[in-house]
Structure 1
Amino acid sequence: MHARVRAGDPEAFRELFTSCARLVHGYAVRATGDPALAEDVVSLTFLEAWRLRERLKDEGDSPRPWVMGIAVNVLRNTTRARRRHERAMARLPAREPLPDFADEVVGRLADAEQLAAVKVALGRLRAREREVFMLCVWSGLGYSEAAVALGVRVGTVRSRLSRARTRLRRLTDEALREPARARGQVPGDRLITVVRSSGESQA
């Protein structure tokens, strides 16, 4: 399939999309917390893959490390563009506040806090550690595949992932406890357990 993709075979590229699109989307959703933006990342990733198809090398049985390497770069660029947009929007006059519908979503509060804690913790990781964690733990790439995707050595992937696991456990704990202290409550440990078990599954 590698040769067919390089040659611009539409059917081969369709197979490539089918086999990797969900992986790219899951990576982007977890990185951004925005399903709509994740769809954009998928589209841009495969547009870029088509443009760069002649660079696909015959290394390994699967092209997914190559695709995920493109996805990582697309996400970096998309995130920078979104930050610029958010800064521009912040300079606009504030809108009238919307009504508070908190009572309607009170049952979702705990899950929302937990998801927010993960996002906060991931945001506090160094970018390179965050990318390795998301590729290896959340996207299921092996060490060698992640190394190809990021253009680094396998040993570098291992060391970054180890640091990411350690820092993510601590940062998630802190992110969960900060809002809880503000309410005078003690948070549960379910989310921390999820983060730990996810990290340890790659050990």
Structure 2
Amino acid sequence: MATSTDRALWFRAAEGDAEAFAQLYDRHARAIYNFLYRRTASWSDAEDLTSAVFLHAWRRRAEVQLDRDSALPWLLRTADYTVRNEWRSKARYRRAVAAAHLLVSHERDHADEVAGRLDDDQQIRRARTALRKLPKQEQEIVELCIWAGLDQQAAAVALNVPLGTVKSRLSRARKHLRELTPVSAVENQS
């Protein structure tokens, strides 16, 4: 049995075929989770946000028309919007709690103390710190091309910019990251 393209699966899902949508989920959930984990440095937040991305995709499946055979660029852009909304929501919450003088210290979940996850969290934080020093446009390119593994054409679609723009931003981002950090701290995350 031939494997269907994402576009064909999306069309079937838009017609109400839950199995087609499940196949899309199976294909892309790991990439979306990894993208969100790298953005949040929290495995539990990444799991929750991955669910939110696919819930949003399910709800919008009849409205969205893919312009490529892969749904991944659209899903990654949706993941980007989802994580930004989450950050804004958390910032509003922290401001409200601080205003009410109820700010309490945050205790990490016991699961975060597992040695492997702590090491991963520390590496992600170092990489995120280096990434934050880049201009916003270069950050997006690193997140899509290096961390999420999109090719440059797919990143151009996800960002709605020309391919040449993606290439130049990626080149500048790599140069800046080499200047800011040891190579292993960023590229080991890909």
Tell me the TM-score range normalised by the shorter chain.
Answer: 0.7 to 0.9
Q: Equivalences for 1:1-203 in 2 at 5 Å?
A: 1-91=9-99, 92=101, 114-171=123-180, 173=181, 192-195=182-185, 197=187
The one-letter amino acid paired with 1:42 is T
Structure 2: 5+ residue stretches without partners: 1-8, 108-112
Shift of 1:85: 2.7
Tell me the C-alpha RMSD between the 2 structures: 3.2
Task: Decide which moves more: 26-35 or 62-71.
Answer: 62-71
Q: Report the CA distance shift for 1:119/1:13 in structure 2 as closer, same or farther (over 3 A).
A: same
Q: CA deviation at 1:198?
A: 6.2
TM-score, length-scaled by structure 1 = 0.71
How far apart are the structure 2 equivalents of 1:158 and 1:89?
A: 43
> 1:66 deviation in Å?
1.7
- Could you tell me how far apart the structure 1 residues matched to 2:106 and 2:39 are? 28
Contact 1:70 1:149 in 2 (8 A): no
**Superimposed CA distance per residue, residues 57-103 of structure 1 (whole angstroms, 9 cap, x where no aligned partner):** 353332211211211211221222222233344453565899xxxxx
Indicate the SS of the match to 1:60: coil
> Which ranges of 4 or more aligned residues in structure 1 deviate by more than 6 Å?
108-112
Structure 1 unaligned regions, length at least 5: 99-103, 174-191
Contact 1:143-1:157 at 8 Å conserved across structures: yes
Q: TM-score, normalised by structure 2?
A: 0.76
Q: Secondary structure at the match of 2:62?
A: helix
Aligned residues: 175
1:31/1:110 Cα in 2 relative to 1: closer, same or farther (>3 Å)? closer
> What amino acid is the match of 1:118?
A
Deviations 1:161-203 (A, max 9, x none): 22222222333x3xxxxxxxxxxxxxxxxxx12257569x9xx
Larger radius of gyration: 1
